[in-house]
Amino acid sequence: MGYYTHYKLEVHPAIKGDMVVPEEVIGAFRKEYEEAQYALNEDGSAEEESKWYEHEKDLAAFSKKYPHVLFILEGAGEEQGDAWKFYCVNGETQDAKIVTTFPEPDMERLLGAAKEDPQAEAKREASDAFDHVKRMINSTPGLAEKLKQELDI
């Protein structure tokens, strides 16, 4: 049965200004390594997952034939979270596993939402309207005393 991985290969100049024809390099790689023929299309993409257990060893060895090319092999395995990149230049390699991070909670927003009274906006509007009426009454001479008498306050 085995473990299946979805592969993708990119090739780039390792030194700025160098020229690389990706299809030629990938084509030569596919000719030399049978598993690469099954795992990759001519352009380095893949339509299907495949088993290719020696991909790191194969790519490291092949990269020595193209010492000024950066090879980037990406893989996504069957298991959740099994995603990686493998970088290679002239036989030197570097692995990079995917890192999943979650942001810390926004406590100001979370606590603000929890503390907010659902009727707070209506209460603020009523208070503002009451303050406005008080200012109008107090700004009209004698109206405050007349209302106090009428309301028996």
- For range 48-64, the mean pLDDT: 97
Question: Residue length, the chain?
Answer: 153
In whole angstroms, give the CA distance from residue 147 to residue 153.
Answer: 8
Strands 69-77 and 5-13: antiparallel
In whole angstroms, give the CA distance from residue 29 to residue 36.
Answer: 7
- Residue 69: pLDDT band (50, 70, 90) is very high
Lowest mean pLDDT, pick from 11-15, 103-107, 140-144: 140-144
| Mean pLDDT, the chain, integer | 88
Q: How many CB atoms lie within 10 A of CB 98?
A: 11
- Residue 30: pLDDT band (50, 70, 90) is very high
